[in-house]
Amino acid sequence: MSRIVFGLVGAVVALFPEGVLEAYETVALENPDECSAKPWLVSAIRAEGVLYVLATLAGGRAYGWLTNVAGIAGLAAAVTPRQYLDAGASFAYERPEDVDWNEEFVTGVRVIGVMLVVLALSAFRKRRRTKSISPEETDSNTELE
């Protein structure tokens, strides 16, 4: 199920990066009209979406890597959501000091972070279980998640 979600999110992000950025700024920022994204941000958003899609289609180690990175980012977002967002703003916006986060969004980022940690741990446990089963015990249709 999580592979399907990552794949669908990746496809939407890859196909509509401008719309994703606009929706993000509308929800996340108190002052979206006062913030200027760096010129390459839309391309980076598209590349991230393509990466999600490729990793989910490849499965195995590629998907494992994606869930591990998502878990690490989720941990940072869950523990320190404002600092996590501020770090992203310094990367993505021309004047990050002008970015004013919507408080409900900061709370939402914490919740999403916790969900990503849970997802990553679940995927890790599933990979470990699959590795502990001998190849004779698995059928050819088993996929690593």
pLDDT digits (tens, 9 = 90+) for 46-67: 999 999 999 999 988 898 899 9
Mean pLDDT check: name the lowest of 70-79, 105-114, 124-133: 124-133
Q: Is 39 helix (H, G, I), strand (E, B) or coil?
A: coil
What does the alpha-carbon distance between residue 12 and residue 99 come to, in Å, rounded to a whole number? Answer: 25
pLDDT at res. 127: 81
Radius of gyration of the chain (CA): 17
CA distances from 44 to 51, 74, 109, 127 (A): 10, 19, 20, 29
pTM (two decimals): 0.80
pLDDT at res. 139: 47
pLDDT at res. 140: 45
